[in-house]
């Protein structure tokens, strides 16, 4: 009986899809736009910091070991031990920044274990698993240099002292002839200082990073960041922001850190870290960390939409933290650092058991990632750094590898398409489109129909757009207010199957493609495919 009902439901859904496709086709044929996107060239939001397009690599599972680091003697093509394919793809997307070594791992890591001759480095238990320490600070810095990314270190606050933090900075930034640690770095291969600017002071200090109260964390933060020698580098400290939407953490930290006799000036803090994972797909049935997770590959249309609803909450989290910070830092010296974000599903889709927290990445995750990057762009004036968690063989990854096999995921194409936003000026853009309406556990639900962001660099305008509708295209009139279009190039990531993903056997099942479209004057008409991410590269006259 239930099965018959399910089949009936499926048949009805199939008919609805066919009808939707027809409607979409009919509307395209009669060329009646159902949506409008207006780019307001005269309303700049702020420069998009390139670091917003950063990545996160934790000493976890197969992220660093065998993902990035295969070792110098490996048969896998490598440059100085780093998997060549990763380096090449990082360069292709102009990866601006990488955060390391954690994550929760950071607060268990003694950085001195990962320097000096490899053979003499100790093996440790490690937070996630055994830690051989063959990849340490010198290797991470080599990885950054090879891939063209700036380093962002996360320091251990839970189990190391402020002095150990000072020493790590000294090892990285002191001149080679200045001190033993500077000389040690030179012996490890770099006479030139690493000039590391970005330092995260702990990680999730309200949880795995020490279970501290905001007042306790504030005390540590002030100790770690006061009179810390940078050796000529203007150090940019990043404080640990709240778990989830716990604004009380932000409020109490700010009060304890910035006000009163011992208060420090917000000018001395670069950023405020926010983590937001899209993991709770239970639609309110439970909020249990394990039970509420969805499946990376087996999902229905409701689960598809739920990811965008959940992922979109980051915008509210960003805004509410910004508002609290503003009470103590009205000039907004402190920027938002969203240094862990992405989907987090239950285990089972990882490509190898060694991929701790590994999962497959489908079109759904690509749209989630694009949605997140568009949010960052729309808040360019607030955003300092973003870091997608995590680069390879883990949660919201761009790459998957095992032994000599290597593939890019749909997320990679999003970063590739969006790279032209880096360093460009974000422009206010209005999206008007029919809402996505669907049944959410029998209740009518709806959310935005088209969304995205625009930015400009000289005469090059980048407009990126997500159409989250699983089956309907959106025919939009794109208007560049006060601008005239010389040419438009389109790159689109789409697939008829919302579950589409790449595998070692089918590495090119999902890939971005280019399209042509004619435009004249200040407007262009374009049909945004269902379940797609699209970039319009517009050259202005
Ligand atoms: O990215 C996996 C883990 O998620 C990180 O170690 C931690 O910071 C977060 O809770």
H/E element holding 68? none
Please tell me the distance between residue 74's alpha carbon and the centre of ligand 1 in angstroms.
29
Instruction: Locate the ligand 1 atom nearest the alpha carbon of residue 390 and give its number.
Output: 1
Give the mean pLDDT of 68-72. Answer: 96
pLDDT for residue 128: 84
What pLDDT is stored for residue 458 in this prediction? Answer: 97
Q: Which atom of ligand 1 is nearest to the CA of 209?
A: 8
From CA 461, how far away is CA 455, in angstroms rounded? 6
Q: How confident is the model at residue 261 (pLDDT cuts 50, 70, 90)?
A: confident
CA of 317 to the centre of ligand 1 (A): 18
Of 225, 321, 212, the residue nearest 264 (C-alpha): 225
CB neighbours of residue 356 within 10 Å: 16
Please give the pLDDT value at position 31.
60
Cβ neighbours, 10 Å, residue 62:
23
How many beta carbons lie within 10 A of that of residue 404, not counting itself?
12
Residues 203-243: pLDDT tens digits? 999 999 999 999 999 999 999 999 999 999 999 999 999 98
> What CA–CA distance (Å, rounded) separates 146 from 80?
9
Mean pLDDT value across residues 5-23: 34
Give the pLDDT confidence score for residue 14 in this predicted structure. Answer: 36
Per-residue pLDDT for 93 more than 50?
Answer: yes
Q: Which ligand 1 atom is nearest residue 102's CA? A: 6
Q: What is the pLDDT of residue 367?
A: 98
The DSSP secondary structure of 352-398, one letter per residue, reads STT-TT-----HHHHHHHHHHHHHHHHTTTTEEEEEEE-SBSSSS-S
Query: CA–CA distance from 483 to each of 430, 454, 461, 477, 499 (Å)?
Result: 15, 13, 10, 15, 38
Specify the DSSP class assigned to residue 75: S
104 lines ligand 1 (CB under 6 A): yes
Cβ count near 152 (within 10 Å) = 27
Say how many Å lie between the CA of residue 381 and the centre of ligand 1.
26
The mean of the pLDDT values for the chain is: 94
* Tens of pLDDT, residues 348-381: 999 999 999 999 999 999 999 999 999 999 999 9
For residue 104, the CA-to-ligand 1 centroid distance in Å is 6
Q: Whose CA is nearest to atom 6 of ligand 1?
A: 103
CA distances from 123 to 65, 75, 129, 334, 368 (A): 14, 24, 11, 38, 38
Percent of the chain with pLDDT strictly greater than 90: 91
Q: In the 8-state DSSP scheme, what is residue 207?
A: T
Total-model pTM: 0.94
Q: Supply the pLDDT for residue 127.
A: 82
d(CA 35, CA 526): 10
Mutate to test the pocket of ligand 1, among 105, 389, 396 (most ligand atoms within 8 A of CB): 389
Report, as an integer, the average pLDDT of 421-444. 97
Within 8 A by CB and 6+ apart from 461, the residues are 39, 41, 427, 454, 455, 480, 483, 536, 537, 538, 539, 540
Which of 55, 60, 104, 279 most suits a substitution to test ligand 1, by most atoms within 8 Å of the C-beta? 104
Q: Is the CB of 209 under 6 A from ligand 1?
A: no
Q: Token digits for 378?
A: 């729309």
Indicate if ligand 1 lies below 6 Å from the C-beta of 337: no
Nearest residue (CA) to ligand 1, atom 5: 103
Task: Give the pLDDT confidence score for residue 520 in this predicted structure.
Answer: 83
User: Is 150 a pocket residue for ligand 1 (Cβ < 6 Å)?
Assistant: no
**Substitution site in 59, 274, 340, 394 for ligand 1 pocket (most atoms within 8 Å of beta carbon):** 340
Residue nearest to atom 3 of ligand 1 (CA): 103
Residue 10 has pLDDT above 50, yes or no: no
Band of pLDDT at residue 12, cut at 50, 70 and 90: very low
Residue 150 Cα to ligand 1 middle (Å): 21
- Mapped to the 3 state alphabet, what secondary structure does 33-44 carry? CCEEEEEEEEEE
The pLDDT tens digits of the residues spanning 129-143 come to: 789 999 999 999 999
Kindly indicate the confidence band of residue 404, based on its pLDDT and cuts at 50, 70 and 90.
very high
Question: Does the Cβ of 340 fall within 6 Å of ligand 1?
Answer: yes
Q: Whose CA is nearest to atom 8 of ligand 1?
A: 103
Residue nearest to atom 9 of ligand 1 (CA): 103
């Amino acid at each position: 009986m239930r099965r018959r009902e399910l089949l009936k439901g499926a048949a009805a859904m199939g008919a609805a899809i066919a009808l939707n496709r027809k409607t979409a086709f009919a509307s395209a044929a009669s060329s009646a736009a159902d949506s409008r996107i207006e780019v307001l060239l005269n309303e700049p939001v702020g420069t998009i910091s390139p670091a917003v397009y950063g990545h996160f690599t934790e000493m976890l599972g197969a992220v660093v070991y065998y993902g990035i680091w295969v070792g110098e003697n490996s048969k896998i093509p490598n440059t100085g031990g780093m998997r060549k394919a990763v380096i090449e793809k990082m360069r292709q997307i102009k990866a601006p920044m990488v955060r390391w070594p954690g994550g929760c791992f950071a607060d268990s890591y003694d950085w001195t274990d990962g320097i000096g001759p490899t053979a003499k480095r100790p093996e440790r238990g490690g937070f996630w698993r055994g830690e051989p320490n063959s990849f340490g600070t010198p290797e991470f810095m080599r990885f950054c240099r090879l891939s063209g990314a700036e380093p962002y270190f996360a320091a251990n606050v839970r189990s190391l002292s402020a002095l150990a933090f000072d020493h790590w900075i000294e090892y990285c930034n002191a001149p080679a002839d200045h001190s033993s640690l500077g000389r040690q770095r030179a012996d490890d291969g770099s006479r030139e200082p690493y000039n590391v600017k970005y330092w995260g002071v702990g990680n999730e200090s309200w949880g795995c990073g020490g279970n501290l109260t905001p007042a306790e964390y504030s005390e540590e933060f002030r100790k770690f960041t006061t009179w810390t020698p940078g050796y000529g580098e203007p150090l940019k400290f990043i404080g640990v922001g709240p778990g989830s939407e716990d604004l009380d953490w932000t409020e109490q930290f700010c009060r304890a850190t910035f006000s009163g006799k011992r208060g420090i000036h917000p000018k001395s803090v670069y950023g405020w870290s926010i983590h937001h994972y899209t993991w709770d797909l239970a639609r309110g049935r439970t909020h249990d960390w394990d039970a509420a997770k969805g499946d990376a590959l087996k999902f229905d249309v409701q689960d598809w939409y739920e990811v965008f609803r959940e992922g979109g909450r980051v915008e509210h989290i960003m805004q509410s933290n910004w508002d609290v910070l503003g009470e103590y830092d009205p000039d907004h010296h402190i920027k938002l650092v969203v240094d862990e974000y992405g989907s987090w599903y239950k285990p089972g889709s990882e490509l190898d058991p060694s991929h701790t927290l590994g999962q497959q990445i489908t079109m759904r995750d690509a749209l989630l990632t694009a949605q997140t990057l568009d949010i960052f762009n729309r808040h360019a004036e607030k955003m300092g750094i973003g870091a997608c968690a995590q680069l390879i063989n883990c949660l919201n990854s761009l790459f998957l590898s095992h032994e000599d096999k290597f593939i890019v995921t749909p997320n990679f194409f999003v970063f590739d398409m969006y790279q032209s936003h880096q360093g460009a000026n974000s422009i206010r853009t209005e999206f008007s489109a029919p809402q996505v309406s669907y049944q959410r556990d029998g209740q009518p639900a709806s959310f935005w129909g088209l969304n995205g962001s625009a930015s400009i660099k000289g005469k090059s305008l980048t407009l990126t757009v997500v159409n989250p509708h699983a089956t309907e295209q959106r025919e939009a009139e794109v208007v560049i207010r006060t601008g005239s279009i010389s040419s438009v190039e389109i790159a689109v990531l789409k697939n008829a199957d919302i579950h589409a993903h790449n595998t070692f056997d089918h590495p090119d099942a999902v890939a971005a493609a280019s399209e042509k479209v004619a435009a004249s004057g200040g407007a262009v008409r374009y049909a945004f495919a269902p379940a797609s991410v699209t970039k319009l590269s517009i050259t202005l006259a």
